[in-house]
Chains A and B, each alone.
Chain A
Amino acid sequence: MVISQLIFYTLAAFTLISSLFVVFSKNPIYSVLWLIVCFFTIAGHFVMLNAQFLAVVHIIVYSGAIMVLFLFTVMLLNLNKETEPHKPTLLKFGAVIAGGALFLIVIAAMRSGMPAPYVAPQMSEVGYVKNIGMKLYKDYTLPFEVASILFLSAMIGSVVLAKKERS
């Protein structure tokens, strides 16, 4: 019990710290790296929540694909230095306050409705590949197929946009 709680708190702390670093790092490269850290911690959460398959996919997709893409871009555009001009302090405060306020408001709104800590089913098997596969390929066939259209569109789009040619 205590161990799993401990793991949770540690992971949660890491998650938050890393995401804060993502936001506050001056150098984009650091941000990317902190984001990768953050993704790993989230994958850890997934494992904690019996969603092992998802955790794996998460690491592959995010850390493996998306973050590589980010890194590529940062490198490609040669952004690995602190070129970013700073916003006025007032706006910075504003942004922080806005983020905080949003958090407070949402939390306050949800406060009374939080599901009471309850004992979940002894054995949660939903995260197993079998279950997810069943869901995905049985009920969610259409979205699955449609996602390919989305991908196709995004793919062509990216090619069209990023092609380097000038007539």
Chain B
Amino acid sequence: MTQTIIQTSNLYLPTILIPLLPLLGFFINALFGKKLGHASGWIATAVLFGAFACSLFLFLNLPTGGSETITISNWFYFKNIFIPFAFLIDPLSITMLLVITGIGSLIHLYSIGYMHHDEGFSRFFSYLNLFIFFMLLLVMGNNYLIMFIGWEGVGLCSYLLIGFWFKNQAFNDAAKKAFIMNRIGDLGFIIGMFMMLFYFNSLNFDVVTIGALKLGMGNMTIIYITLFLFVGVMGKSAQLPLYTWLPDAMAGPTPVSALIHAATMVTAGIYMIARSNVLFSLAPHTLDVILIVGTATSLFAAVIGLKQNDIKKVLAYSTVSQLGLMFAALGMGAYESGMFHVVTHAFFKALLFLGAGSVIHAMGGEQDMRNMGGLGKFIKITFATFLIGTVAISGIPPFAGFFSKDEILATAFEHNKVIWGLLSFSSMLTAFYMFRLVYLTFSSSFRGTDEVKHHIHESPATMTMPLIILAACAIIAGFIGLPTIISHTHLFKNYLASVFAQSKLIMPAGHEMSHSMEWILVGTAVTLALVSIAFAYQKYVMQKHVPAADENVKGISKVVANKFYVDEIYNTVFVKPIMLLSDLFLVVVDKLIVDLLVHAIAFITNQIGRALRLLQTGHVGFYMFAMVISMIILLAVQIFVVI
């Protein structure tokens, strides 16, 4: 278990360079950021491109189906438990690495333009680099603890970045909320780890997997472990009921939303489940829970998304909804499909966010869609790329989203018709509100003030370049996972096959679906998407419908627009009682009971003293009387009671 052998693999250097580069970038920016000025942005971007290059190197050099453990040090140990600081390089982590460093570097590039005028420019990049570092640790670690470091680290960076504009207390609240909600999940994660330590004496993925296999299918231990892990996942990946932080997290600068709250961090949960696929496969009940939670989240968020007017909020709910979809996939044991959707989603959601950022940039900070409209004419590149992203997310072939989503729906159809129905409905809603977004923003005429109108301009190249690249990816990324009806080589599935091989052995393989059935499903999905797009077109372009002002919203719409009052409910059910409890503890228990008890003892002691003091009357006659009396009593007791 203790790997102290010096690694000689040729992958060693690039592997450790991947996290080290962003870390280096972080230190440079944190320590010398002020002096570097805008160069810090370029440095931060450069190190990420370096990391991306290293990831590519790994991708190219790792033999197919192989995996490599790179041990940096024997981090610590206690009792018989050894926790190495080691990296696991296998297709799954490489996939994530590529996504993180690739999209990450694009977003960095974009941020140079986006944050150009911000006074915290270098600070922003140091945070971003730090985030990337932790995210890389998360996906590269060969055990749960390293993963947990990354897990908490990204939470921290998310906190720092959401509250980046710290003068605004609402933003700070959002940041704090994100951190705390994540921590709730983290507790679950930690308990899960404890159980693993307890039963398997290790946190290494391979050891845990072997241990779990020994315990066998449906073992309660594994069910508990996976359930606790899933609690962690719920926090990080914004699933019901711990999703409320994600929409609020939009308070951060838009590149942050793109990077952290769309492309990378929130998918950590999916990565984690995929990483522990064997455990989850052994726990069918947990999978059911995941499926239900995922589906519910998907639907719930999609519904809320319908009524949002903040451009980023819409995207945020769409992210939650898409994440739910991914979890539904995982819950059905379709890990590759989930991962596939992670990848494609990363592209188009990052694209959408960056596009939204570009819009906001153009609008000078305005985020409310009701004040937009007709922007397509002014910012063409943004419009075009944004449209690509929207089409991709809506599941229109041959864009990336179609393939990954279709795969999941197909699995769902096989698994359970009801789930399929619900997920399809959620996709339909997605298509609707995404196009609602596009129409409200880009088509018809401008609804804002003239002042803003003059300000509207296309973003600089540092921002449009990433948009274009991401748009390209959003178009082509789907081809790595063509459905069986088109091609028999599912590149993505094959690449990850080795990771999920064990699960495939455990899980009862579903029967191969007939091609005709698949065609029907594809047809249905596309039709539904098109219908909702048409409906949106009819409503927002033809009728030029503009959502009502907040105070005019009534009835169910109001409930939906207010996100089903979930925040308020949480506030009443959890936050307020805890605050009340806090006061209660302090005032009643601490001051009144415990302290009073202490004081009461002191007081009583004092009072006894006061009472006894009265014996000392000052009258010598009384003294002698008392002496004689006590003498008599003592004599009597001594002589007659005992002898």
The answer to whether any beta carbons of A and B sit under 8 Å apart in the complex is yes
Residues of A within 8 A of B (CB): 87, 91, 94-95, 98-99, 101-102, 105-106, 108-109
A103 to chain B, nearest CB (A): 10
CB within 8 Å for A95 and B632 given contacts A105-B639, A109-B639 = no
**A105 and B621 in contact, given A98-B628, A98-B629 (Cβ under 8 angstroms):** no
Q: Nearest Cβ distance between residue A101 and chain B, in whole angstroms? A: 5
The verdict on A87 contacting B621 (CB below 8 Å), with A105-B639, A109-B639 known, is yes
List B contacts of A109 (CB < 8 A): 635, 639
Contact with A along B612-641 (1 / 0, CB 8 A): 000000000100010011011001100110
Nearest CB on B from A4, distance (A): 34
Complex CA–CA separation, A4 to B69 (angstroms): 122
6 chain-A/chain-B pairs, Cβ below 8 angstroms: A91-B625, A95-B625, A101-B632, A102-B628, A105-B636, A109-B639
Closest to B631 in A: A102
Tell me the bound Cα distance from A95 to B631 in angstroms.
14
| B contact residues vs A (CB 8 Å cutoff) | 621, 625, 628-629, 631-632, 635-636, 639-640
Q: How far is the CA of A99 from the CA of B629 in the complex (A)?
A: 9
A102 to B629 alpha-carbon distance, docked (Å): 8
Taking each of A91, A105, A108, which has the highest tally of chain B beta carbons within 10 Å of its own beta carbon?
Answer: A105
Contact A98 B632 (CB under 8 A): yes
Contacts of A106 in B (CB 8 A): 635
5 closest A-B pairs (Cβ-Cβ)?
A: A109-B639, A98-B628, A101-B632, A105-B635, A102-B632
Secondary structure type dominating chain A contacts = helix
Q: How far is the CA of A98 from the CA of B622 in the complex (A)?
A: 12
Contact between chains at A105 and B625 (CB < 8 Å): no
Residues of A within 8 Å of B632, CB to CB, are 98, 101-102, 105
Which of B621, B632, B639: most chain A Cβ within 10 A?
B632
Report chain B residues within 8 Å CB of A105. Answer: 632, 635-636, 639
Given contacts A91-B621, A98-B629, A108-B640, 11 further A-B contacts (CB under 8 A): A87-B621, A94-B625, A95-B625, A98-B625, A98-B632, A102-B632, A105-B632, A105-B635, A105-B639, A106-B635, A109-B639
A101–B636 Cα gap in the complex (Å)?
10
CB-CB < 8 A to B640: which residues of A? 108
Neighbouring A residues of B639 by C-beta, 8 Å: 105, 108-109
How near does chain B come to A132, taking the closest CB pair, in angstroms?
A: 33
Q: In the complex, A30 Cα to B632 Cα: how many Å? A: 30
Q: How far is the CA of A95 from the CA of B624 in the complex (A)?
A: 10
Of chain A, the residue at the smallest CB distance from B629 is A98
- Bound form: Cα–Cα A87–B498 in Å: 109
CA distance A40 to B621 in the complex (A): 29
Taking CB atoms, residues of chain A closer than 8 Å to B621 are 87, 91
Alpha-carbon gap, A94 to B632, bound state (A)? 13
Which residues from chain B contact A91 at a C-beta distance below 8 Å? Answer: 621, 625
A108: which B residues are within 8 A, CB to CB?
Answer: 639-640
- Which partner residue on chain B sits nearest A101 by CB separation? B632
Question: Closest approach, in angstroms, between the C-beta of B613 and any C-beta of chain A?
Answer: 21
Residue of A nearest to B636 (CB): A105
Within the assembled complex, what's the spacing in Å between the Cα atoms of A100 and B632? 10
Complex CA distance for A108 and B632, rounded to whole angstroms? 12
Tell me, in angstroms, the Cα distance from A102 to B624 when the chains sit together.
Answer: 13
**B629 CB contacts on chain A under 8 angstroms:** 98
CA of A101 to CA of B635, assembled, Å = 11
A91–B624 Cα gap in the complex (Å)?
12
A24–B635 alpha-carbon span in the complex (Å): 27
Query: Shortest CB–CB separation between residue A105 and chain B, in angstroms?
Result: 5
Min Cβ gap B524→A in Å is 109
Question: Nearest B residue to A98 by beta-carbon distance?
Answer: B628
- Report the separation of the CA atoms of residues A87 and B621 in the bound assembly, to the nearest whole angstrom: 10
A104 to chain B, nearest CB (A): 9
In the complex, A35→B632 CA distance in Å? 26
Query: With A and B bound together, what is the CA distance between A94 and B639 in angstroms?
Result: 22
For A99, the chain B residues whose CB sits under 8 A away are 628
Q: Which residue of B lies closest to A94 (CB)?
A: B625
Assembled-state Cα–Cα distance A91/B628 (Å): 13
Q: Which residue of B lies closest to A100 (CB)?
A: B632
Distance of A87 Cα from B632 Cα, bound (Å): 22
A87 CB contacts on chain B under 8 angstroms: 621
The smallest beta-carbon distance between A124 and chain B, in angstroms, is: 32
B residues in contact with A94, CB < 8 Å: 625
Question: Which residue on B lies nearest to A109, using beta carbons?
Answer: B639
Closest partner residue, chain A, to B638 (CB atom) = A109
A91 to B621, CA, bound (A): 10
Measured CA separation A102–B628 after assembly (Å): 8
Query: For the complex, what is the distance from the CA of A95 to the CA of B632, rounded to whole Å?
Result: 12
From residue A91, how far is it (CB to closest CB) to chain B in Å? 7
Q: Which residues of A contact B635 (CB under 8 A)?
A: 105-106, 109
Task: Give the shortest distance, in Å, between B348 (CB) and chain A (any CB).
Answer: 103
